[in-house]
Amino acid sequence: MSRRYTRALITGINGQDGAWLAAHLLGEGIEVFGTHRPTSPAGNWRLQELGFAQHPNLHLHALDAGNLVACRSLLGDVEPQAIFHLAGQSRVADSFRDPLGSVQANGIATLNLLEAMRRQTPDAHFVLASSAEIFGSPEVAPQDEETPLRAASPYGLSKLLAHSAMGSWRASFGLAASSAILFNHESELRDEAFVTRKISLGVARILLGKQQELALGNLDARRDFGYAPEYMAALANMADRESGDDYVLATGHAASVREFASAAFAAVDMPIEWQGRAAAEIGREVKSGKVRVRIDAQLLRPIDAPLLVGNAGKARKQLGFDPGIGLHELTRRMVEADLQRERNGRPG
């Protein structure tokens, strides 16, 4: 398709979202400039798996987004017409261990990039990967763009700072700045530290006899699980718009962590039945009678919203966002990818 932009900058290209977005834009003929942390290698197993690591239109750069001078220098050199800010501290659990680091990585870095854009490329469109965690523990469901913002976790606060900055720079300086309020979006490329990938990888290893059980935290937390490539396509469309705005990206359907785990085991014909309550709850494989899931109290968060589910009506209407991959297909894809990696000894 023909877009308003032909040169795009993606921060955090080594992550799940960055890799999917890069593959999407490269497939459309967009020239992509991707950044990674100076301490991280330029190599990208995710882009290698997607078949785009050696694409002639892909250019990689090291960037410390906490350094305003470095941000201005890169934008001045690259002159992107679209900026997708996906880098940062992406794990809620880590934010409890290092709250100030999370605010620096997610909030201050966004301000640096906004200022760099204002000074160097004011006509570009800036798209931020915001988060449903900015809602905290909302009193109403589903959540949309008008839901009150009451971030509770340090991660949510760090994202709220970045999200609010987008609206402020949009109103104060007339920048095209958009926030994608992303609900849980998973895929085969998810990092192992996330519970969804921990589940899919654990199921694969259990099936192959490499481990016996899976340790999880809060099974009752209900989240809106979507498929990451569909969400990244929506971000690409956001940058195509003349002006900036905020958009919730979600499926509108919630499932508990328990249901996600059940679907993942079912994908390999290992149905699970749940027994017990609270910290004593276990997931037992129906066929063998073996315990496959146990609760680990150390994995419980100090704050964990009971329900996050989004209303993406605005994105459907204005961006053509139409998520079609449901929970069972999502878990099947994730488990099958992990099975293939485990069998072939590939990184992931």
Burial class for 101, CB neighbours closer than 10 Å (0-12, 13-18, 19+): middle
Beta strands 176-182 and 125-131: pairing type?
Answer: parallel
The answer to whether 133 is a known catalytic residue is: yes
- Which is the catalytic residue, given 31, 49, 133, 186? 133
N-term to C-term CA, the chain: 31
The answer to whether 230 is a known catalytic residue is: no
Phi and psi for 82 in degrees, rounded to 5? Answer: -135, 135
- Which is the catalytic residue, given 31, 49, 155, 227? 155
For residue 175, how far is the Cα from the chain centroid?
Answer: 24
Catalytically active residues are 133, 155
